[in-house]
Amino acid sequence: MRILVVEDNAELARQLAQRLEAEGYAVDRAADGEDGQFLGETEPYDAAILDLGLPKVDGLSVLRSWRRNAVTVPVLILTARDAWHEKVQGIDAGADDYLAKPFNMEELLARVRALIRRAKGHATADIACGGVVLDTRSGRVTVDGAPVELTAYEYRVLSYLMHRKGRTVSRSELIEHVYTQDFDRDSNTVEVFVGRLRRKIGADMIKTVRGLGYRLDEP
């Protein structure tokens, strides 16, 4: 899953990116509303964390521009603790959730997971396909109850396919959601990750759809 963090406080942005990456997300950062608006409208994200008090272009204007341009990414806005009017304006502008500063990092992570689950049509934290279960809260993966060790990129590929169970995902779509904007992307590495996953979770779980990409199916 790929996330955009738009936050002008450099230390907070660093902490958010560091923790999200530790949880298995690919993270892009923008330090002002102008860059955030551009990234949100040109790159595919699974969720966005948007501060409202941004330089150059304020967060509400960024959000309104995204929605006006049919950017449907789930958005969690960050507001000042007592700024109830900002929360109302944010929700009316198209935000999916809000969190007041200062906040607990665990709560933010839980809200991000919930946003992504709802956007992909999943009601619970555990996503299952056959004997494979991915716990989005802990990042643990089990096969028939036995834990499976995955690298960070293997986890990202599996998580993206699990969230889109039964749908064909192209190689280019996987690349866009597994890597950050400034990463040197190589489509061959996705094939390597898929090959490793097949050995770890079962060769019949990830189907190759010739000319289109991959699909995670019930065996």
Q: Are residues 130 and 183 in the same domain?
A: yes
Mean pLDDT by 10 residues, the chain (219 residues): 94 95 93 96 94 94 94 91 76 89 92 86 78 87 92 90 90 82 67 90 89 86
Whether 76 and 108 have beta carbons less than 8 Å apart is answered as yes
Q: How many domains does the chain have?
A: 2
CATH number where 130 lies: 1.10.10.10
Q: Are residues 15 and 83 in the same domain?
A: yes
Q: Are residues 138 and 197 in the same domain?
A: yes
Question: CA-based angle 172:176:179, to the nearest 5?
Answer: 125
pLDDT number for residue 35: 97
Task: Determine the Cα–Cα distance for residues 26 and 64; give it in Å rounded to an integer.
Answer: 24
Identify the domain containing residue 172 by its residue range.
126-216
Q: Give the residue from 68, 103, 119 where a domain finishes.
A: 119
Half-sphere exposure of 176 (CA within 13 A, CB side): 11
Is the entire prediction scored with pTM above 0.85?
Answer: no
Q: Are residues 132 and 43 in the same domain?
A: no
pLDDT number for residue 74: 93
Q: Are residues 13 and 84 in the same domain?
A: yes
pLDDT number for residue 130: 87
Q: Give the residue from 70, 103, 119 where a domain finishes.
A: 119
Q: Are residues 81 and 136 in the same domain?
A: no
Q: Which residues face 126 on adjacent strands?
A: 135
CATH number where 92 lies: 3.40.50.2300
Omega into 102 within 30° of 0, i.e. cis? Answer: yes
pLDDT number for residue 123: 63
Q: Give the residue from 69, 92, 119 where a domain finishes.
A: 119
